[in-house]
Structure 1
Amino acid sequence: MSDTASEIAPEALADRIESRRRVVLLDVRNREEVGEWRIEGPSIESVNVPYMKFLSAQATGGIEELVDLEESYVVVCPRGEASAEVADMLTDAGVDAVNLAGGMHGWARVYRRQRIAGDATAATVYQYHRPASGCLGYLVVSGEEAFVVDPLRVFADRYAADAEAEGASVEGVLDTHVHADHVSGLRHVAGATGATAYLSETAADRGVTYEVETVADGDRIDLGDHTVEVRSTPGHTTGAVSLLVDDLLLSGDSLFLDGAPRPDLQKGDESAPEFARTLHETLTERLAPLPDETVVAPGHVPPGTEPADDSTYTARLGDLRERLSVFSESRETFVERVLGSMGAPPANFERIIAANLGRETVADDDAFELELGPNNCAVTAD
C-alpha cells in the first residue's frame, strides 16, 4: 500500500457528533455485532460492510464497488485493527477514510462532562456521560466538599481530579442502586479519597460484602452549605433511591427522560409484575408530586440521544409528566406495557451484580469487558 489512512481519536469523534456535524461510519464488524451495539447519534449515518468482504474485494480488485467513492468515512471495528486495514485500502483507492483509533473499545473509554447546575446560591453539579452506553454519573460540589453519584469503575480516578480542580475534596460517594449494567466505582472512589461510601439500607440488605454507611428515605447528607436529600424510589430494584439537590432530582434508574426502567433484573420474570407495580407507585405517588420546575437528571439515556439545548441530559419534571404515559395510565396498564417491552437484559448482568455486591472479584480489564455494549436497563422508549 502506498498510503496510510489517518486516525481519529474517540474523543474527537465525540466532539464531531456533539457539534451535530454529519458523520458517515463504515462499520466493518459482522452484522450481529453491529445489531447489538453501535455508535449512534442524530448526525450519524452508518454503513455496514463486513471486513471479510473487503479482503475478498482486495483480492479481486473490486473494493470500489463496496463504498461510495465520493463519500468520507470513519471506519470502525472492535479494536481499531481491522478497520485500520480497511481505511488503508480505501485511502489507496482514493477514498477519504479515517480509522477510529481503538475501535469500539476506544469509544467505550470516552467520558464527557457537562455542568448542569450552579450559581451563587446553588450547589454546582456536573453530569458525566458515557456515549458508548448512555450511562450518566454526577459530581456535586458545595464549597470545599464534593459528592459523587453513580460512579463508573473504569473512570474512578476522574471524579476526585475534577473535584480538586474545583477546590474541593470528595467526602461522599453513593450508588442509587445495585447496578446491573456496569461495574460500580463506589468502592474505588471511596478507597482512593477516604470518602464515605453510601447505599440505601435495602440495597445493602441484598448481601453487600463491603463496608458502607446506609441511608433511608428522608435522610439528609450534609455537603458544604447544602444537603443531599434521599428519596426512596423502588421498582427497578428494591433499594433504589433518588437524590434531591436544590431543585435537581438525580433520579438514578427510577425515572428516565423517555420512560421507565425495567423491573426484572433483581429477581427475574416471576417477580417483575410486583416490581412494576411498585415502580408505578414510585413514579405517580413519590416523584410526580414534586414541583414542575424540578429538573430530572437520570442515570441513563439511550445511546445516541440528543441532549437538551444546554448540552445536558435533563428535563423539567412538568414536561415529563405531560409527555410520558406512566403519569396518566392506570397501574395495571402500566404493568402490562412494561412487561411487554423489556427486551434483552444487559450483557453479563448477573456477574456485574455479583461484582457490585462484592461477591465476585473482577480485575480492571475484565470489568471493562463485562460492561461493553448497551446498558438495556430501560423498557422500550415511551
Structure 2
Amino acid sequence: MVETITAEELRDMIDADEDFILYDSRDPESFEDWHIAEAENVEYSGSNDELVGEFDEDDIGAGDTVVTICATGNSAESFAEYLEREGYAHDVKTVEGGMESWSMVYDVAPIATSNDDLVILQLQRRSKGCLGYVVGSKSAGEAALIDVTRASDEFVAAANERGLKVTHVFDTHIHADHISGGRKLANKLDVPYHLGAPAETRDPQFEFDAIEPNDAVELGDVEIKAVHTPGHTTGMTSYLVDDEALMTGDTLFVESIGRTELQFADKDARDGARVQYNTLQNVIMTEPNDVKILPGHFSVTNDGEYVDVTPGQPMFSTVGYIWENNTLIRQSEDEFVEHMFENLPSKPPNYEQVIATNAGEYEPEDESEETELELGPNRCAATEESTVADD
C-alpha cells in the first residue's frame, strides 16, 4: 500500500541524505519552471490514470524506496499506485499536497548574538528562498516579526516557543515575489504594523505605523532602528538590531544584491541602479565590519539548487566579508550600473499582481489563488549566480 508522507518528512529525508528515488509527475513545462533538485520528471495523468511521459522501470532496483510528488498530490498518488500495481516498486511513498505543500516548508535557524538578552531567529522558506525574522528580548518577553510570509503561524509559534509575545510586525518593503502576511497578522494580534516612512512613495492603500529613517522601536533594551536603503524599491528600509545585525530585505543578499528594475523601469532603470549603488557604498558598507547581514532572500535555481547556502543552517554574512568578496560591490559606479542590466534573471512570476496585493490594491479570491501567485522560486537577486568570490 502506498504510504503518504508530508512535505516536511520529505525535507527530513533529503537533509538526512537518505537513499531514495524522487519522481515528479507534473508536465515537463511545469517541472522545468521549478522543481526539487533531487527529482526526476515522469509525467503521469492523474485524471486518466495513465503514463504520459517516458519511464524506465529498470531505473528502480529491488530494494529502492520511491517517492512521488506533483502539483497538489493527485497525479503523484496515482503514479505511486501504478508503480506498486505493476510491481516496479514495493516501497512507495507519495507527498501529500505535492509542490504546493513543499512551497510552505519552513526551517528555523537561531542566529548567534553577543547580547545575551537578544534573540534572533531566521525563518527560511526553503522552496522560494524567502527569509523572515523573529527579533526578541528575553528579559522583556517581547518579540518583533520582520518580513512575515503568509505562513504567519510559523513566526508566531517560533516566538512563543521561546517565551516571547509578539508586540510589533515589520516589513522591509512592499514585496514583489511573495504575499506578505505582516499586515493581516498585525491586525489579528492588534499590534503595530511598521513600514519605513519612505514606503509612502509606493502609494500603499492601507494605513500603517510609519517608522522614519534613524528612528527606533524598542523591545525592552533591544533596539530596532530603521535605515533607509533605497534601490530595490524607493521605500526599501533595512532594520539595524542592537548594532549587531542588519536585516537588509532585498537590498543585499549573502550571495548577490537586489535587482532594481522591478520598480524602476524604462528611462528610470539606470537611475535606480545608481540609487542602489549609493545605498550599498555609502549606507550599508559604512557599518562596522562585524555587523551581520541578514537578508530577505536566498537564491534558489529553477532546478532547486541553493546558491551559496544550506537550508536549515543560518544564512548570513558580515559587512567586512561582503566588502572584501562581493565582486559587484567593488566595481565602479558606471561598471555596476551596466552590470545590473547585462544578465538579469527573468522576473518573479506574477510579480505585478503580487505587488498589487501587498500594496492593498488587489485582494486574491482565496488561498488557492495566493498559492498560485507565489509558486516558483523568488527572483529578487540581480544575478542568477553568486557574485561572491571564493576565499
Give the alignment's TM-score, normalised by structure 2: 0.88
Q: Which amino acid aligns with 2:130?
A: C
1:289 pairs, out of 277, 286, 290, with 286
- 2:39 and 2:328 mapped to 1: Cα distance? 33
- 1:204 and 1:340 mapped to 2: Cα distance? 31
Say whether 1:353 aligns with 2:349: no
Aligned to 2:237: 241
Say whether 1:373 aligns with 2:376: yes
Matched residue pairs, number? 372
Say whether 1:110 aligns with 2:124: no
Q: Which amino acid aligns with 2:344?
A: M
Shift of 1:178: 0.7
Aligned to 2:197: 201
Superposition map of 1:169-318 within 5 A? 169-246=165-242, 247-303=244-300, 304-305=305-306, 307=309, 311-318=313-320
- 1:121 and 1:364 mapped to 2: Cα distance? 42
Q: Which amino acid aligns with 2:214?
A: G
Q: Which amino acid aligns with 1:175?
A: D
For residues 105 and 244 of structure 1, do their structure 2 counterparts lie closer, same or farther at Cα, with a shift above 3 Å needed? same
Aligned to 1:17: 14
- 1:339 and 1:48 mapped to 2: Cα distance? 33
Shift of 1:269: 4.1
Aligned to 1:89: 82
- 1:236 and 1:243 mapped to 2: Cα distance? 15
- 1:100 and 1:308 mapped to 2: Cα distance? 22
Say which SS state the counterpart of residue 110 (structure 2) adopts.
strand
- 2:100 and 2:279 mapped to 1: Cα distance? 36
CA contact (8 A) 2:289 2:320 kept: yes
1:51 pairs, out of 29, 33, 44, with 44
CA contact (8 A) 2:43 2:51 kept: no
CA contact (8 A) 1:183 1:352 kept: yes
1:74 pairs, out of 67, 70, 73, with 67
Superposition map of 1:149-188 within 5 A? 149-153=146-150, 155-188=151-184
Q: Which amino acid aligns with 1:314?
A: F
Aligned to 1:323: 325
Shift of 1:65: 4.0
CA contact (8 A) 1:251 1:296 kept: yes
Aligned to 2:118: 123
CA contact (8 A) 1:150 1:175 kept: yes
Say which SS state the counterpart of residue 328 (structure 2) adopts.
helix
Structure 1 residues 242-299: Cα deviation after superposition (integer angstroms, max 9, x where no partner): 1111311111100011111111111434422111111111112211122222211110
Say which SS state the counterpart of residue 340 (structure 2) adopts.
helix
1:29 pairs, out of 21, 26, 31, with 26
Shift of 1:20: 4.3
- 1:314 and 1:157 mapped to 2: Cα distance? 24
Q: Which amino acid aligns with 1:197?
A: Y
Shift of 1:26: 1.3
CA RMSD of aligned residues (A): 2.5
Shift of 1:148: 0.7
Shift of 1:12: 1.1
For residues 188 and 274 of structure 1, do their structure 2 counterparts lie closer, same or farther at Cα, with a shift above 3 Å needed? same
CA contact (8 A) 2:19 2:65 kept: no
Give the alignment's TM-score, normalised by structure 1: 0.90
Runs of 5+ unmatched residues, structure 2: none
Aligned to 2:94: 99
Shift of 1:310: 8.1
Q: Which amino acid aligns with 2:288?
A: P
Runs of 5+ unmatched residues, structure 1: none
Q: Which amino acid aligns with 1:137?
A: G
- 1:364 and 1:248 mapped to 2: Cα distance? 36
CA contact (8 A) 1:176 1:199 kept: yes
Aligned to 1:339: 341
Which moves more between the two structures, 26-35 or 16-25?
A: 16-25
Say which SS state the counterpart of residue 327 (structure 1) adopts.
coil
Say which SS state the counterpart of residue 271 (structure 2) adopts.
helix
Shift of 1:223: 1.4
Identity over aligned pairs, percent = 33
Q: Which amino acid aligns with 1:336?
A: E
Q: Which amino acid aligns with 1:128?
A: L
Shift of 1:23: 5.3
Shift of 1:21: 4.1
- 1:106 and 1:120 mapped to 2: Cα distance? 36
Say which SS state the counterpart of residue 208 (structure 1) adopts.
coil
Say which SS state the counterpart of residue 247 (structure 2) adopts.
strand
For residues 203 and 98 of structure 1, do their structure 2 counterparts lie closer, same or farther at Cα, with a shift above 3 Å needed? same
